[in-house]
Amino acid sequence: MKWVFVSDIPYNVSGEFSPNVFVDDEGHQWPLEQNFEQIKESGNMTWLKAEHSNGYNYVNINAVYKLNIYETRNEIFRIDLVNGAGFGVHAEAKLRFTFFRRLFVEAAARGTYIKSTKHS
- Mean pLDDT score of the chain: 77
What pTM does this model have?
0.35
Domain spans of the chain, in order of start: 1-57, 62-112
Look at residue 120 and tell me whether its pLDDT is greater than 50: no
Confidence of residue 112 (pLDDT cuts 50, 70, 90): confident
**73-88: average pLDDT:** 79
Are the CB atoms for 112 and 90 separated by under 8 Å? Answer: yes
Dihedrals φ, ψ of 42, to 5°? -90, -25
Look at residue 11 and tell me whether its pLDDT is greater than 60: yes
pLDDT, tens only, 57-79:
666 666 678 899 999 998 889 99
Confidence of residue 118 (pLDDT cuts 50, 70, 90): very low
Dihedrals φ, ψ of 90, to 5°? -150, 160
What is the DSSP secondary-structure string of the chain?
--EE---SS-----S---S-EEE--TT-SSPEEE-HHHHHHH---TT---EE-S-------EEEEEEEEEE-TTSSEEEEEEEEEESSSEEEEEEEEEETTTEEEEEEEEEE---PPP--
